[in-house]
Structure 1
Amino acid sequence: MEPITDVEKLYTLVDDIAVSIQKHADKTYLEALAEAGEAILNQSVSEDLPREESIRLEKKITQDIPPEMEREGIRKAFQLAVIKGMKEAVQPHHAMTPDAVALFIGYLVDKLVSKKESAVILDPASGTGNLLSAVLNSVTKNTAAYGVEVDETLLHIAYVLADLQEHQVEFFHQDAIEQLAVPPVDVVAADLPVGYYPKDEVAQNFELKSSKGRSYVHHLIIEKCMEHVKDGGFFVLLIPNFMFESEEAPALNKYIKEHATTLGLLQLPESMFKSNQYGKSIWMLQKKGKDAIQPSQALFAELPSFVKHEALADMIVQIDKWFKEQGLS
């Protein structure tokens, strides 16, 4: 059956190129996917493939790219390819933010920056750039962005994806906890990596270092980013529900009270996860500063299933109302 949508057409093309590069250049699918994106950007295949194969792929590139492809279509096509590649990868940090959640985070970021003329956004754990792309595609203001990723393959995909969508993003290949070389930003939007940070000597410089044993990577990233968010700036973070139940939670709560204000906590529907222990929420924070607000009431809610469109629409009406009542939009 022939592909019928532009997303399917682009995915089929990207996948064809990636599979060929994977086969002939002895690379993983994710490595080949980044090269496939480069091939589409440059309208030519740079990998050393058999001549007949290069000619075939370059002909497909000129003929099969959908005209006037929208940014969201490009993101979704690459998302499908990344998901395929993730099945081959075994690293635990190779996981993608669910599409509906990424778009919802984008909606929240757009609300938070609605009164600004422009906004600078940071994702300190950008992975393949899918979440950052979804946010940039959702924000209606003029935006610039920074993405930080320690995995070179994922960073390459993120770079290509941003270029294909013509987003203004500067990427850094670094450990965001050990080194975060970005200027002050308006918003941090991230799907926080969860677990223990292996570099004890680096963690020792943080307030949120563990009182014993290894420190939590998700705590350290929050502290590091707090240094790079402007006064009155925002955090929109995807966090595990157990984050406030660990033995280090009191230290995190104390740190947040000193430096920021919780604007809201939106629990994702349980149906999205295999079990309650894997459940996640979206945490909205504002760094303290002269322009920061003190919400009359924080936004606490359990989100309905994203497939229940009517219930979700009702929830968005309530969230929109809350933003207006707090003077945020």
Structure 2
Amino acid sequence: MNELSPIERLFNTFDETAATLQQELSCTYLDALAETAENLFQQKILQDEMSDLAKKRVWKKYEETKLAGYSKEEIRQAYQLAILKGMQENVQPNHQMTPDSIGLFISYLLEKFMRGKKEFAILDPAIGTGNLLLTMLNRQPEASVSAIGVDVDDLLLKLAWCGANLMEQPVQLYNQDGLEPLFIDPADAVVCDLPVGWYPNDVRAADYELKAEEGHSFAHHLFMEQSVKHTKPGGYLFFLIPNGLFEEAGADKLHRFFQKHVHIQGIIQLPLTMFKNKQAAKSILILQKQQEGVLAPKRVFLANMPSMKDRQAMQSIMVKMDDWFKESK
């Protein structure tokens, strides 16, 4: 019989205790997962309404689970698997998680662009469950990174908060619409899997340069403008964008906004095999906020990313990017 991996063992703890709490508290699996994650972090059972038998059952699992024996990445992956299970049970359009492979590649890009910085701040204005931001924080061991996450969905934000606690990552979280005024310091870098679609609050959208001339504005356009506003001059932005971004309504206005405020550093199209259909396909857009003395790159880095499983093709992309960096810096 094969022994379970550390990720599988920890996932089983999350899964079994969340299932017990779900039954005891009459709540969703995701709500129960957040509760059990907080119990595990606090090393006590915080739910008084549970029966003594259920408390004994979950406490036994907690005692068997020593978080100190797991790496931050093992904790993140086990927690992510449990969140994915919960999302499959209760599918909502805004409950989507950025795939791991994309998070790992954006982490690589962040490392490249922030090389040499010993300390920096990163913002995710639509953090969701925090998987993308936490992937990036876990992979920046050489730098001291502080992070801010914003989300309007209180359950997703609670899952992000509990995950950050378990991984002991310093993240400040704000439960609000990311397009409302943000009372935060500008960040050195922004990362965002942009919420794609219409933004229903026309009054709020009216304050943005990228608002639609009539009808609802695109939320993903407004999130890009909000992100640029909250980035330090010379800072970098990494967006997951729909492939049709530059062909859709408002693209001309978006192009003028970019010319005025940012330098496009690169566009990397992700493999179509990563998405359910062609319409859902995305690319990574890399921008740099304009700053006096900072010139646009001699050429924009453009690439079609191969399958992550094709190591040779991935290596080739990395080599091309290294060459581009040497040429641009």
Q: Are the equivalent residues in 2 in contact too, given 1:97–1:130 (CA < 8 A)? A: yes
Residue 117 of structure 2: aligned partner = 116
Residue 126 of structure 1: aligned partner = 127
Residue 164 of structure 1: aligned partner = 166
1:200-243 deviation line (CA, Å, top 9, x unaligned) = 11001111100111000001111112111000011001111011
Q: Using a 3 Å threshold, how does the CA distance of structure 1 residues 28 and 292 change in structure 2: closer, same or farther?
A: farther
SS at match of 1:57: helix
Q: Which amino acid aligns with 2:18?
A: A
SS at match of 2:54: helix
CA distance in 2, matches of 1:223, 1:7: 38
Task: With a CA cutoff of 8 Å and minimum separation of 6, indicate the structure with the bigger relative contact order.
Answer: 1
Residue 258 of structure 1: aligned partner = 260
Q: Are the equivalent residues in 1 in contact too, given 2:17–2:61 (CA < 8 A)? A: no
1:95-244 to structure 2, matched below 5 A, reads 95-139=96-140, 140-244=142-246
SS at match of 1:244: coil
Q: Are the equivalent residues in 2 in contact too, given 1:6–1:66 (CA < 8 A)? A: no
CA distance in 2, matches of 1:204, 1:315: 41
Q: Are the equivalent residues in 2 in contact too, given 1:198–1:214 (CA < 8 A)? A: yes
Matched, 1:23 2:10: no
Unaligned runs of 5+ in 1: none
Matched, 1:288 2:282: no
Residue 5 of structure 1: aligned partner = 5
Q: CA deviation at 1:56?
A: 1.8
Q: CA deviation at 1:2?
A: 6.7
1:139-167 deviation line (CA, Å, top 9, x unaligned) = 23110000001111110110111111111
Moved more, 52-61 or 69-78: 52-61
Q: Are the equivalent residues in 2 in contact too, given 1:146–1:170 (CA < 8 A)? A: yes
CA distance in 1, matches of 2:52, 2:201: 47
**Count of paired positions:** 327
1:46-61 to structure 2, matched below 5 A, reads 46-47=46-47, 48-61=49-62
Q: Are the equivalent residues in 1 in contact too, given 2:264–2:296 (CA < 8 A)? A: no
Q: CA deviation at 1:179?
A: 2.5
CA distance in 2, matches of 1:250, 1:83: 37
- The share of aligned pairs that are identical, in percent, is 40
1:246-275 deviation line (CA, Å, top 9, x unaligned) = 121111111011000100000001111222
CA distance in 2, matches of 1:114, 1:184: 19
Residue 33 of structure 1: aligned partner = 33
CA distance in 1, matches of 2:37, 2:293: 42
Q: Which amino acid aligns with 2:153?
A: D
Q: Using a 3 Å threshold, how does the CA distance of structure 1 residues 172 and 3 change in structure 2: closer, same or farther?
A: farther
Residue 64 of structure 1: aligned partner = 65
Per the normalisation by structure 2, the TM-score is: 0.96
CA distance in 1, matches of 2:275, 2:19: 31
Q: Which amino acid aligns with 2:144?
A: N
